[in-house]
Amino acid sequence: MDSAGIGQFIPLILIFVIFYFFLIRPQQKKVKEHKAMVENLKKGDKIVTSGGITGIISRVIDNDKIEVEIAENVTVEVIRGTGVQSLMNSQEVKK
């Protein structure tokens, strides 16, 4: 009876393992890469905000905010962690 009880949990354990390797691990890797990209932002980088606005970083304010120039003489403050979606002039080759 004991082996039958454990046998019922084997499919659930396998499903969890599959979910971990195909969903959870890649998402954690993506979050880690995004965090590293956001921490390395500097003046002059071209970025895309989460709202789809492209611009150039004109100033880094504290460690929370950046000032982005979206047009000539038009700047917007963006929260660094949540506002920046990606770099446009990334030197890395994406895999």
In a shared domain, residues 15 and 47: no
Contact in structure between 46 and 87 (CB atoms under 8 Å): yes
In a shared domain, residues 48 and 84: yes
In a shared domain, residues 76 and 48: yes
In a shared domain, residues 4 and 26: yes
Residue 94 lies in a domain: no
Instruction: Dig out the tokens for 26 from the structure.
Output: 């890649």
Domain enclosing residue 14, as ranges: 1-40
pLDDT digits (tens, 9 = 90+) for 22-58: 999 999 999 999 888 888 888 999 999 888 899 999 9
| CA distances, 94 to each of 9, 14, 47, 50, 91 (Å) | 39, 31, 16, 20, 9
In a shared domain, residues 36 and 47: no
Q: Which among 66, 64, 63 has a CA at the least distance from the CA of 55? A: 66
Contact in structure between 67 and 57 (CB atoms under 8 Å): yes
In a shared domain, residues 57 and 74: yes
pTM over 0.75? The answer is no
In a shared domain, residues 49 and 85: yes
In a shared domain, residues 31 and 47: no
Q: Is the pLDDT score of 16 beyond 90?
A: yes
Q: How many domains does the chain have?
A: 2
Residue 85 lies in a domain: yes
Q: Which CATH number characterizes residue 79's domain?
A: 2.30.30
